[in-house]
């Protein structure tokens, strides 16, 4: 926690033609090196390297089952069997007990959203302890998500799928974490809700939050991301800036099987 | 004399009251058991031993420290709760990653060891524990004479059950507890120290058992076997109410106490088995229990 303040990455870095995503940034908020992870005996990640600078939104792309969700879970430490290095602000997170990871600045929105059925909407929203200043207040969140305010006394799982996703994101925004791991936030949601979630991510960017996103919805990802990583077989195989996206579309579509 | 279904009203009301008092202990004990099972997923077979410990701590506090009932009502649950927390930290917490059977076996062995030690020292006969001065005597309710102490047990256990339920449903601590019961990993990822919450919860469940033990001491005497006598019934209560359901445990505790009382009036021979018959029927019709959520 006594690290020197982070230098911002060069503002024009996004337009640089550096295509290997493994080392595009000099100093990163999140620096992952040689991350291996296992589900029981099954070896799921084979040396993932990635960097994310403060304020960036980075999207992990890849076909189903290549290890995108596993990467988020391994960074967070929800997957306990992992080796390698995950440094947040220079602080090593591997070996940090899971309940101390949030205080270091990592927030997590799981793919299944993780809304608690036995808690009301408001209890769900205020459940995660605030770990740092600069998070959204409950009032700001209710202004951003009026539906949640209307239904704050309902049980969390009585919300629609879209509302549950909003709640899952809002819940973490309150805590003041600096880096948000967001797993497939648009999965199974109507286009109008997807647009709304896109706006929220852009609002988060405006407030200087950093986001690592796993997303299958290509159109959505291209709207919000500054940079992309492509995964295959539990490894990062490619990385490029958003500006390079149009020229790579054909190759990507083939690689992703879309 | 007024009769209902061929039974004198006095006898009926009298047995219902006995049922309510037994039900008070069932409710207190099954409440602790349900809280522990809900969060730790461990069937706490040591619950009866912790109930017995509560009574014995009260007895020993009086015998060796001159601390009476009211002091024991605070101190004994605290001591039993702390002992429970220590056991969770030192032993139970090492078993969470294993098959739930290990937790069950461990607490079962613990119960046998505790009860065996007390039996070795104090024998099987009960030690008397006097009703506190302020609660001696009885009052005439018109249909029956109610000893003041038993009235106090009904009121106090109801108050403790309601307070515990409110703490779980309405407070921040309760929200952590409910959320961790559903998904401990995610709650931990949010920065809540779930391992500590587990320790505290086991301590709380043990303390509730200890409290029930102190309250039982003047009624049932203080005996090493008092826990194993009642705990089987309490397990049936928890199963009928629905494993892990807090409200289910409390409501079912009182309800089955009353059923037992009623059976004593109408068919005394069946009063010892009625709770288990109800359990069997409930398991056939609603395997998740009356208040349980089917997964």
| Mean pLDDT score across all residues of chain B | 92
pLDDT of residue A113: 94
CA pair distance B27, B80, nearest whole angstrom: 18
CA pair distance B205, B33, nearest whole angstrom: 6
Instruction: Give the mean pLDDT of B6-22.
Output: 85
Instruction: Give the HSE-up count for residue B31: Cα atoms under 13 Å, Cβ half-sphere.
Output: 31
CA pair distance A253, A117, nearest whole angstrom: 38
By the CB < 8 Å criterion, does B194 face chain A? yes
Interface test with A, best of B179, B184, B291 (most A CBs within 10 A): B179
What is the least distance, in Å, from the CA of A158 to any CA of chain B? 15
CA pair distance A30, A207, nearest whole angstrom: 18
pTM for the whole thing?
Answer: 0.87
Tokens representing residue B28 in the block: 């207190």
By the CB < 8 Å criterion, does A175 face chain B? yes
Instruction: Give the mean pLDDT of A169-183.
Output: 95
Closest to B261 (Cα-Cα) out of B30, B11, B48, B28? B11
Q: Is B187 within 8 Å of A127 when comparing Cβ atoms?
A: yes
Q: Name the band, by pLDDT with cuts 50, 70 and 90, for residue A2.
A: very low
* Strand, coil or helix: A30: strand
Predicted confidence (pLDDT) at residue B111 exceeds the cutoff of 70: yes
Beta-ladder partners of A57 = A211
Predicted confidence (pLDDT) at residue A146 exceeds the cutoff of 70: yes
The pair phi, psi for residue A155, each rounded to 5°, is: -65, 145
Q: Is B179 within 8 Å of A99 when comparing Cβ atoms?
A: no
Query: B175 contacts in A (CB within 8 Å)?
Result: 119, 123, 126-127
Query: A127 contacts in B (CB within 8 Å)?
Result: 175-176, 179, 187, 190
pLDDT of residue B1: 59
Neighbours of B261 (CB within 10 A): 23
Q: Is A116 within 8 Å of B183 when comparing Cβ atoms?
A: yes
**B50 neighbors B206 (Cβ within 8 angstroms):** yes
pLDDT of residue A4: 44
3-state SS, one letter per residue, for A96-151: CCHHHHHHHCEEEECCCCCCCCCCEHHHHHHCCCCCCCCCCCHHHHHHHCHHHHHC
CA pair distance A9, A13, nearest whole angstrom: 7
Q: Name the band, by pLDDT with cuts 50, 70 and 90, for residue A47.
A: very high
CA pair distance A76, A237, nearest whole angstrom: 21
Beta-ladder partners of A241 = A227
By the CB < 8 Å criterion, does B192 face chain A? yes
Predicted confidence (pLDDT) at residue B6 exceeds the cutoff of 80: no
User: Which among B179, B189, B195 has the least Cβ separation from residue A116?
Assistant: B179
pLDDT of residue A184: 94
User: Which among A117, A123, A127 has the least Cβ separation from residue B190?
Assistant: A127
Predicted confidence (pLDDT) at residue A20 exceeds the cutoff of 80: no
What is the least distance, in Å, from the CA of B241 to any CA of chain A? 17
* Strand, coil or helix: A229: strand
Nearest residue on chain B to A131, judged by CA atoms? B191
C-alpha triplet B161, B164, B166: angle, nearest 5°:
110
Neighbours of A135 (CB within 10 A): 20
CATH of B3-285, one of 2.60.40, 1.10.3470, 1.20.120, 2.30.29: 1.10.3470
Q: What is the pLDDT of residues B131-183, one digit of tens each?
A: 999 999 888 877 778 899 999 999 999 999 999 999 999 999 999 999 999 99
C-alpha triplet B271, B276, B279: angle, nearest 5°:
135
Of A106-120, B2-16, B67-81, the one with minimum mean pLDDT is B2-16
Report A:30-89 residues touching B (Cβ under 8 A): 76-78
Work out the percent of chain A whose per-residue pLDDT is above 70.
Answer: 90
Tokens representing residue A154 in the block: 């309902």
pLDDT of residue B195: 95
Q: Is B188 within 8 Å of A127 when comparing Cβ atoms?
A: no
Nearest residue on chain A to B176, judged by CA atoms? A127
For chain B, the domains span: 3-285
Instruction: Give the mean pLDDT of A79-88.
Output: 93
């Amino acid at each position: 926690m006594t690290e020197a303040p982070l230098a911002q990455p060069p503002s024009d870095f996004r337009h640089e033609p550096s295509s290997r995503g493994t080392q595009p940034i000099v100093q990163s908020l999140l620096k992952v090196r040689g991350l291996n992870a296992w589900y029981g005996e099954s070896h799921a990640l084979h040396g993932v390297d990635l960097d994310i600078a403060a304020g960036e939104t980075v999207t992990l792309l890849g076909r189903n089952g290549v290890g995108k969700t596993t990467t988020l879970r391994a960074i967070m430490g929800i997957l306990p069997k992992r080796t390698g290095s995950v440094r947040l602000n220079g602080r090593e997170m591997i070996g940090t007990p899971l309940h101390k990871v949030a205080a270091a600045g990592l927030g997590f929105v799981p793919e299944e959203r993780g809304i608690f059925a036995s808690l009301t909407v408001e209890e769900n929203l205020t459940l995660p302890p605030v770990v740092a200043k600069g998070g959204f207040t409950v009032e700001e969140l209710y202004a951003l998500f009026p539906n949640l305010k209307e239904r704050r006394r309902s049980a969390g799982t009585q919300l629609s799928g879209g509302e549950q996703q909003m709640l899952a994101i809002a819940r973490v925004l309150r805590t003041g974490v600096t880096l948000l791991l967001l797993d497939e936030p648009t999965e199974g949601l109507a286009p109008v809700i997807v647009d709304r979630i896109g706006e929220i991510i852009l609002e988060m960017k405006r407030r200087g939050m950093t986001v690592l996103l796993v997303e299958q919805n290509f159109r959505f990802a291209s709207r919000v991301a500054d940079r992309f990583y492509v995964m295959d077989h539990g490894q990062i195989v490619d990385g490029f800036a958003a500006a390079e996206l149009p020229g790579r579309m054909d190759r990507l579509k083939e690689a992703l099987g879309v | 004399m007024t009769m209902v279904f061929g039974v004198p009203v006095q006898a009926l009301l009298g047995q219902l009251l006995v049922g309510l008092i037994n039900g008070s202990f069932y409710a207190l004990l099954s409440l602790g058991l349900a809280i522990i099972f809900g969060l730790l997923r461990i069937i706490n077979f040591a619950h009866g031993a912790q109930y017995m410990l509560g009574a014995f701590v009260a007895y020993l506090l009086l015998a060796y420290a001159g601390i009476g009932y009211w002091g024991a009502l605070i101190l004994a649950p605290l001591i039993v709760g702390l002992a429970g927390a220590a056991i969770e930290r030192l032993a139970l917490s090492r078993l969470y990653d294993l098959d739930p059977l290990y937790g069950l076996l461990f607490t079962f062995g613990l119960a046998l060891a505790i009860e065996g030690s007390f039996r070795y020292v104090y024998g099987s006969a009960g030690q008397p524990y006097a009703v506190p001065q302020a609660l001696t005597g009885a009052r005439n309710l018109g249909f029956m004479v109610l000893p003041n102490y038993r009235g106090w047990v009904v009121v106090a256990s109801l108050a403790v059950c309601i307070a515990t339920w409110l703490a779980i449903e309405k407070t921040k601590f309760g929200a952590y507890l409910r959320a961790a019961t559903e998904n401990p990993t995610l709650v931990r990822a949010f920065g809540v120290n779930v391992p500590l919450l587990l320790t505290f919860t086991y301590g709380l469940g043990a303390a509730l058992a200890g409290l029930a033990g102190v309250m039982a001491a003047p009624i049932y005497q203080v005996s090493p076997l008092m826990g194993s006598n009642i705990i089987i019934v309490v397990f049936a209560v928890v199963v009928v109410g629905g494993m892990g359901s807090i409200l289910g445990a409390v409501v079912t505790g009182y309800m089955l106490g009353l059923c037992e009382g009623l059976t004593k009036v109408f068919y005394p021979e069946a009063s010892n088995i009625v709770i288990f018959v109800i359990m069997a029927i409930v398991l056939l019709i609603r395997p998740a229990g009356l208040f349980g959520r089917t997964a």
